[in-house]
Structure formats: C-alpha cells, structure tokens
C-alpha cells in the first residue's frame, strides 16, 4: 500500500496512510472537506492486512471515484479509498463473456476496453463517472440499460467482521438506483465485479435520445462502438464534465408514483414525461418537474441547477455541503408545493 500527497506518514498500525487528508479533489462535486485518516487500498490483501492489524475505530467511508457523494462536513473517521486494479476475461461461455475488473478501475475506461476487446454489452453505460466498484452500489443506469442487466457477481469484504463474501445477482437485490450495498452504507467494501456480457450481442436503442442520435448520424445498424459514441455525445451535451464543473450527476431520483397519482398530474400537466414501470406504477421525469418549477439554470449561493439538465446540481466555485443542502431543500419544497411530489436525493450524503 502507498500513500500520496502531503502529511504522508506511517500511522499507528504500521499501514501507510495519510492524516488530516484533503477530500476536495476526491469528490467530483469538489466540496471542501477533510478526513481524519485516509488509507489507499491497492489490493484486497492490503485491505485484509489493514483490517487485521487495526480494526478501524470510529466511522468508515468507502470511497471510489467520489462521483455520487455529498460531503456535508469534515469526516472524523477513516476513508478507505479503493484503488484495486486489474481486468480480464474470466470465461467465454456459449451465451456470455464473463469479464472481471478490480473495483478501483475507472468505469468508462473499463467499458471502452471491453468494446476494444470485442466483448460488447456495456456501451449504453459509457462515460458514467466513477469506478467499477461503485457501479453496483447504486445500480448505475442510463440510456436504456441498468448495470443489473449485465451483472454476474462481485466480491466484497464485510468491514464489520473482515469476512470475504461473493454476491450473485439475487443477493444484490438491485432496484432503481438501489442495492443491498446502498442500504448499508459503510458495511461492504467491494473489491472486484464480474460482468455477464450476452452472446450474441443485441443493440439496446430503445431510449429515444439514443435512437435520435444514431439517426442523426445516419447509422441504421449500429455497432456497440457506434452506440457508445452516440451516448458519449449525448452525455457531453447534457451533463457537465466533473473535471470542469463540480457535480455528482443526477442529484435527484426520478420519482415513482402510483398510476392514479400520475393520471391526476397528467390531467393538469399533459406534457409531463412519465414511464410505466413493471409493477404498474409510473416513473416521472424529475428534471421536467424542476424545470417547470423555475429552477433550471438558477443558482442559490455557490450551487446552481444546471442549465442543460435540471436534475444536476453544480458547484459554481467553493461550495460546501451545506450550500448543496440549502438549494436541494429549496428545490424539493418548490416541486412539492407545485406538484405534490416529494423528490429524493440520489447521491450518498456523508
């Protein structure tokens, strides 16, 4: 294990780490915060050693790319930064490629690598910020595909007991932006994820934006790379690049309401985008509700509601978690007053 940055030191456990670490560059929102201790984990063995020699006292925070995180203040415990690398084809089955990646691999680089290797299936999830290990936690989904549809299994360490466990699809209990891991924050540290990429490959072009983009490019029978390129173009137009403007992607989940509630809303607002769910309920477009409530492109202090996609909050410079919470609360209140729908935040608050 290695430690980067200043304040490099061997902490009491003999494990190299960093004290009073700056977290502002480790969260894509760019929120200012510090951690009492930061450990960078380059392998599952390093984690096991750290847990064995020093059962962590106080709160723990497992950090991947920090792209779905709102730091509401300094963190008094230990941040475990997952930097476990590696990617390989595990098995070629008649109906699937089984590909494995270390939790610390960059998600988008991994997706493009699978495409270059000739193992398509993740292309709709191109350009999503963050790491491979973070992807199952919120069951990342975009442009007609959810991670759960390409998931095989994963390995995780129970930070309470140190035990290593494998999770199959059913064990993860994936839902919309949800999983068992999201429901027990700080308990599991995911070390590796395996993907099941179906053979033969079939393009997923049901999402209207993707179909439109391919049409505009004159592509009728898209390859996986075409779809990846189309998704990248759409995302670049709509979503701010965290390297340039601090943000955590969609700040709110799209609310799922009963069919009757949706019908009532539609009577008053016929243009409201809504998507039927398998259970008969309807998912509403939170971005539309926020835009109609007048928040798109508006700022409150140093945090803004992004001008090209109202579902995203952006750091205009120097924002803290409290600034984010202030504008989020104002948006929730206004949407609820107007539409009777209560929006829920999507990122993890720490």
Active-site residue, from 67, 126, 179, 250: 250
Residues that bind ligand EPU (CB under 6 A): 142-143, 209, 238-239, 249-250, 253-254, 273, 285, 287-288, 291, 296, 309-311, 346
- Provide the residue count of the chain: 350
- Which is nearer to ligand EPU, 49 or 176 (by Cβ)? 176
Q: Is the peptide bond before 200 cis (omega within 30 degrees of 0)?
A: yes
Instruction: Confirm if 67 and 251 have CB atoms less than 8 A apart.
Output: no
Question: Per-residue DSSP letters for 109-136?
Answer: HHHHHHHHHT--S-GGGTT--SBTTTTT
- Which is nearer to ligand EPU, 114 or 309 (by Cβ)? 309
Backbone angles phi, psi at 100, to 5 degrees: -120, 145
Tell me, rounded to whole angstroms, the distance of Cα 171 from its chain centroid: 19
224-238 vs 208-216: helix crossing angle, rounded to 10: 110
Give min distance, CB of 341 to ligand EPU, in A: 14
State yes or no: is 91 an active-site residue: no
Question: Per-residue DSSP letters for 6-18?
Answer: SSEEE-TTS-EEE
State yes or no: is 177 an active-site residue: yes
Give min distance, CB of 143 to ligand EPU, in A: 5
Tokens encoding 12:
């009491």
Active-site residue, from 83, 100, 149, 346: 346
Give min distance, CB of 89 to ligand EPU, in A: 28
Give min distance, CB of 342 to ligand EPU, in A: 15
CA distance 133 to 105: 8
- Which is nearer to ligand EPU, 63 or 239 (by Cβ)? 239
State yes or no: is 258 an active-site residue: no
- Which is nearer to ligand EPU, 135 or 192 (by Cβ)? 135
CA distance 13 to 38: 13
Instruction: Confirm if 217 and 226 have CB atoms less than 8 A apart.
Output: yes
Give min distance, CB of 134 to ligand EPU, in A: 12
CA distance 236 to 341: 29
- Which is nearer to ligand EPU, 88 or 308 (by Cβ)? 308
Q: Which positions are annotated as active-site residues? A: 177, 250, 346
């Amino acid at each position: 294990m290695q430690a980067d940055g200043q304040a490099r030191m061997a902490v009491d456990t003999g494990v190299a780490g960093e004290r009073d670490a700056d977290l502002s560059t480790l969260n894509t929102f760019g929120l200012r915060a510090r951690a009492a201790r930061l450990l960078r984990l380059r392998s599952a063995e390093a984690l096991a050693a750290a847990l064995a020699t020093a059962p962590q006292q106080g709160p723990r925070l497992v950090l991947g790319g920090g792209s779905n995180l709102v730091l509401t203040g300094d963190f008094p415990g230990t941040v475990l930064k997952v930097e476990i690398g590696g990617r390989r084809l595990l098995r070629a089955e008649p109906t699937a490629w089984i590909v494995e990646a270390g939790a610390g691999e960059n998600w988008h680089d991994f997706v493009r690598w699978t495409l270059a290797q000739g193992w398509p299936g993740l292309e709709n999830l191109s350009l999503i910020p963050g790491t491979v290990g973070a992807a199952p936690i919120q069951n990342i989904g975009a442009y007609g595909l959810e991670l759960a549809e390409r998931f095989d299994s994963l390995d995780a360490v129970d930070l309470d007991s140190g035990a290593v466990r494998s999770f199959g699809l059913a064990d993860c209990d994936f839902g919309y932006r949800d999983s068992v891991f999201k429901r027990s924050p700080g308990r599991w540290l995911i070390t590796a994820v395996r993907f099941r990429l179906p053979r033969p490959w079939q393009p997923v072009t049901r999402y209207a934006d993707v179909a439109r983009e391919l049409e505009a490019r004159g592509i009728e029978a898209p390859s996986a790379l075409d779809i990846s390129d189309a998704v990248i173009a759409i995302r670049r137009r709509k979503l701010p690049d965290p390297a340039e403007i601090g943000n955590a992607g969609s700040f709110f989940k799209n609310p799922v309401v009963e069919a009757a509630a949706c019908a009532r809303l539609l009577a008053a607002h016929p243009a409201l985008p809504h998507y039927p769910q398998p259970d008969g309920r309807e998912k509403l477009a939170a971005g539309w509700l926020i835009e109609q409530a007048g928040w798109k492109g508006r700022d409150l202090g140093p945090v803004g509601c992004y001008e090209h996609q109202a579902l995203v909050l952006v750091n205009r410079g120097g924002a803290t978690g409290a600034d984010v919470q202030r504008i989020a609360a104002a948006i929730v209140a206004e949407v609820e007053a107007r539409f009777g729908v209560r929006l829920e935040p999507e990122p993890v608050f720490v």
